[in-house]
Structure 1
Amino acid sequence: MSALLHQQWTCYKLQLKVLSTSAFEGFLAVLFPLMFATAALLVYRVRNDPDAMQYAGLGAAVMGMWTAQGVIASSLLTRERWAGTLELLVAAPVGLGRILVPTTMAMSTIGLYCVVATLAWERWVFDLRLEVASWPLFVAAVLMTALTLALVGYFLAVTAVRYRYSWALGAALEYPGWILCGFLIPVATLPVWVQPLSWAIPTTWGMAAVRSAADGGSPWADLAMCAATGAAYAVLAAWLGRRLADSARRHATLALT
């Protein structure tokens, strides 16, 4: 256990350093959320409704975590393939998940920065004073959302072991995810056949928990669903990673660029 924790912590620190000093990830994870939050708040401000601005402000803040995770996570192993190091990762004595999970956790840490930066942006630029009834529960909900998003990122990342163009999956899911997770549009207003897709994403429950904590409600049920769906993604990713790695070995596709 000590060796496992040491390996996870070392990998997390190194990946966080790489992400925080990368111009591409910095632009994508820091400036993009501010741009999208600005667009969303400009639209909602037309109504001159404080409740609508509160709803949009919270959604825009958490939306940055989705952007910081999805697009980058789906391209993690693709970049390793381009660098010629994917074979080494798959052949390493530790499982692929022990490499990917601390990496996606580092991305979620960048996502937490996006939340803080977006909240500050909303306060300074739009003079939006978000009302939060319970800050401890609010912080707990944000942290749970970040944790489960790292597990979703793990799931997205493992697909690149077998498929060369799976990096496009994250980009394709970014904007639909904004709708499905209820960042700016209530899930209850979506078509009935779409709502089960929203419930299958842990971020939907995390966003609901964030809003419940801010409004003074109880976020515990939403947090439990967020944790359960996140754990399901982790189990599925671990199984899928083994299957895809074996398939890549059989078809000799690890080195394809």
Structure 2
Amino acid sequence: MGIKTILSASKQAFYEFLARPVWIFEMTVSPFVFATVALIMFRESPSENTTYIVAAAGIMGMWGSTLLGAGYSVVIERYFGTLQYLFASPSSLEEIIAGKALTSAFMGLWNLVFVFVIAFTFFRIDIEIAHPVIFVVALLLCVFSFSALGILLSTLFVLSRSAAALGNILEFTAFVICGIMYPLSFLPVWIRPLSYVLTPTWGAHILRWSVMEPELGQGFWVGILMVSVLSFLYVVIGHYLYSRIDYQVRVTATLWRA
């Protein structure tokens, strides 16, 4: 991928964040709602559980922000009639989406900060993190893994005109399937294999370890490995799909009608 293109797209995504009110809503109102509902439901839990619940609410906001940046940027380009020109430009659409997804994921960290502020200010929750440094590292790993998944899923937005509905489905389905707020054992057995191939599942897993467990056991390192491997696979598969989409668009000239 072209690093210069990715950085330029990241810069553009940041300007779009400042210019569009919907981003402000995503960064403030959504995490406030997530945190309030979660803390009302679990406010009687032990302090380490409550800290993770607060972090989980932030993860939900991070995922929503990433999907908004990676997916809806395609929708916006299509709406303004510039999507086909991006395909014809020297820089690939994949690189542009990668930059926007990465910026959106990093901006999604604000969700986590805002949720912690809400928990401490309004609910008087004592934030206790067993491994603060590991927690920060796990967060950064989640940022990159969410970006990789956003790139992969953005291929669906390129091919679909029902992108808004698709985005809502993907956002809220991930909250349920990935077990961000509760253990995966609560889910039916038949759906768990899908949970295990999604990085938000393992991102929540390693954050849970860094917040709640006094010692980092084998389960934590398995989570790190799974997040890394799956992120790499997402990038590889996403690159392949974008190459196929680019070929199809140039041969059939059906992008505008897709």
Residue 236 of structure 1 aligns with which residue? 237
TM-score normalised over the length of structure 1: 0.91
**Residues 55, 136 of structure 1: alpha-carbon distance in 2 compared, 3 angstrom cutoff:** closer
For residue 36 of structure 1, the aligned residue among 26, 34, 37 is 34
For residue 133 of structure 1, the aligned residue among 117, 130, 136 is 130
Query: How do residues 77-96 of structure 1 correspond to structure 2 at under 5 angstroms?
Result: 77-96=74-93
Residue 22 of structure 2 aligns with which residue? 24
Aligned length: 254
Residue 5 of structure 1 aligns with which residue? 3
Residues 134, 210 of structure 2: 8 Å contact kept: yes
Residues 161, 248 of structure 1: 8 Å contact kept: no
Q: Where do 5+ consecutive residues of structure 1 fail to align?
A: none
Displacement after TM superposition at 1:202 (Å) = 0.7
> In 2, Cα distance between the equivalents of 1:20 and 1:114?
15
Residues 148, 235 of structure 2: 8 Å contact kept: yes
> In 2, Cα distance between the equivalents of 1:206 and 1:217?
18
Q: Where do 5+ consecutive residues of structure 2 fail to align?
A: none
Residue 15 of structure 1 aligns with which residue? 13
AA at the equivalent of 2:10: Y
Per-residue Cα deviation, 1:177-223 (whole angstroms, up to 9, x for no partner): 11222221111221111111111101111111111111233233211
Question: Which 4+ residue blocks in structure 1 deviate beyond 4 angstroms?
Answer: none
Residue 73 of structure 1 aligns with which residue? 70
Per-residue Cα deviation, 1:27-78 (whole angstroms, up to 9, x for no partner): 1233112112211211122x45445423422211211101112244322212
> In 1, Cα distance between the equivalents of 2:7 and 2:71?
22
Displacement after TM superposition at 1:124 (Å) = 0.9
Residues 41, 56 of structure 1: 8 Å contact kept: yes
AA at the equivalent of 2:224: L
For residue 112 of structure 1, the aligned residue among 104, 109, 114 is 109
Alpha-carbon RMSD across the aligned residues, in angstroms, is 1.9
TM-score normalised over the length of structure 2: 0.91
